[in-house]
Structure formats: C-alpha cells, structure tokens
Chains A and B, each alone.
Chain A
C-alpha cells in the first residue's frame, strides 16, 4: 500500500517536473536561456519517473536495477547534448557574443581558421 502511494507520488513529481521543463522550453525567448530548462529539470523529471518504476517493480516482485543504469547514462549524456546546442548557438552567432577568455585568444567554437593559413574560404 505504501509502495503504491510512493509510486504515485514519484510519477506525479516526475510528470510535474517534465511539464515545467516543457513550459520553460516554450516560454523563454532566447535560444541560450531556452536550453536551461530541459537540460536540468528534464533529468530530475525522468529520475523521479524511473524511481517510481523501480518501486513498482520491487513491489510486484520483478525488481531490477536497469533504471539505475538509465539514470547514470542520462546524467552522462545530458550535459553533452546541452554543450552541443550551445556550441551551435555560438557558431551561428544566434546569441550574445561572449567576452574573450583571459589567457587564450578566443573560444574554440569561434576559432575558425583564417584564409591565409589554409588557403580555403571558411565562411561566406
């Protein structure tokens, strides 16, 4: 009985966070801020759903640890996809230009080879 309530609570929390992530994605007005909502809230949303799945599985006697693996892989891959979206934004200049780094010349995404160094035209 307690397990059923715990499963239900986890599902509601997870679904709630997923909804907030979707609202954030629609609501913000610039591509960089938009990225914040799904990358962070999405992880806890799915985490709570998986926790609910785990509790339910143990209650019905088909316990498994697969959900832990899903969570681990999700936590490893979410930052990478966010990083790539950010890099595309930087590359397409669709966001505010960041300040220059203190010790190096520029950011690696903005570090396009010049025409002289490779003889080819890099940007039209």
Chain B
C-alpha cells in the first residue's frame, strides 16, 4: 500500500504546492477547482519525477513553517537595516567584506534554500558555491567581523535547515 502511494505521489510536497498555486491562480476555492488542482498536482510530479533524482526523502513541514516565519521576520528587519545604511552611511565608511561559510548541508535543495535565505536577509548576498559544493561565498554589505556573520548564518539558518531536511 505504501509502495503504491509512493509511486502515485513521488513528491508529495510538490503536489500540495501545485494544488495550492492552482487554486490561488483561479481565485476560486470551489470543489471543482480543488479537484482539478489535485489532478495537475498528481500528474506533473509523475511526469517530472525523472528530473528529481536525489530528492530529499523527509521534509518536516512543521519546522519548515517555523523557519519560514523566522525568515519573514528577518526580511522585514533586514530591509529596515539596509535602508538605514543606504540613507545614512557615507561610502567611505562602508565596510563590505567577503564571508566564507563552510557548509554541512549536502542536499542541493537545502543549499538552494539557504542561499536564497542569505540573499533576502540582513546585508548579505550569496554569490557563489565552491566547485565541490562544500562552502558558500557570501558578500556582506557592512560588517567589521566576517566570523560573526558566518556563525550567525550557521546557527540561525543552517542548523534549522539541517533539522528540516534530516
């Protein structure tokens, strides 16, 4: 039974996401739309399953929602911080620095989410990955201590993502 279920829904999270996006796109929460969204949500992951070779098996949805809320809050704080720097800090006093973040995450999906999170949060943009994928290159807009930025990224985001994709 579980084998059949796994084959019908190779990517349950994608199924859920496609259904929700379809219903919002139609702007009409009726039974018909939900059913049609579900059909799309089942067919599209089935057709594209070939292109998801090493997808992460488990995803803890509860922790992922908490992570999303934390990131949303950080985005708001980040925006105000960067806006303040833009308006008040003269160019000569700006201290842009490269920060190297060694990665413990191995899933490509998790690294992608981490890189996206870093770009959207306080004064940091993820620029590049090392050629074997063991570290992430981050550009910080204004910092005097790259190690502190690195430790904060690792403690606040990477540790949580590791739990989500365990």
Contact = CB atoms under 8 A, between A and B. Distances in A.
Contact of A79 (B21, B123, B126, B134): B126
B38 interface: no
Given A30-B96, A99-B98, A69 B120 contact: no
Interface string A85-119: 01101100000101101111111110100000000
Given A65-B27, A79-B120, A102-B102, A37 B86 contact: yes
A17 to B, nearest CB: 7
Contacts of A105: 130-132
Nearest to B135: A101
Contacts of A35: 125, 139
A108 B128 contact: yes
Interface string B127-145: 1111111110101010000
A111 B139 CA distance: 19
Contacts of A82: 119, 125-126
A40 B115 CA distance: 14
Contact of A104 (B21, B127, B135): B135
Per DSSP, are chain B's interface residues mostly helix, strand or loop, or mixed? mixed
A27 B92 CA distance: 12
Interface residues of A, number: 48
A70 B79 CA distance: 19
Contact of B130 (A20, A83, A108): A108
Given A17-B79, A103-B132, A105-B131, A75 B120 contact: yes
Which of B76, B78, B120, B126 has the most CB atoms of chain A within a 10 A radius of its CB? Answer: B120
Nearest to A62: B27
A71 B21 CA distance: 12
Contact of B24 (A36, A65, A107, A109): A65
Given A44-B75, A65-B24, A66-B24, A98 B127 contact: yes
A115 B117 CA distance: 37
23 contacts: A20-B87, A23-B86, A32-B125, A33-B141, A35-B139, A40-B123, A43-B75, A43-B120, A44-B79, A66-B27, A76-B116, A78-B120, A80-B116, A82-B126, A83-B128, A89-B127, A90-B127, A101-B137, A102-B100, A106-B130, A107-B129, A107-B131, A108-B130
Interface of B: 21, 24-25, 27, 75-76, 78-79, 82-83, 86-87, 91, 94, 96, 98, 100, 102, 115-116, 118-120, 123, 125-135, 137, 139, 141
Given A79-B115, A98-B100, A106-B131, 16 more contacts: A20-B86, A27-B91, A29-B91, A32-B125, A36-B125, A41-B82, A43-B79, A65-B24, A65-B27, A79-B126, A83-B119, A83-B127, A103-B102, A103-B134, A105-B131, A108-B130
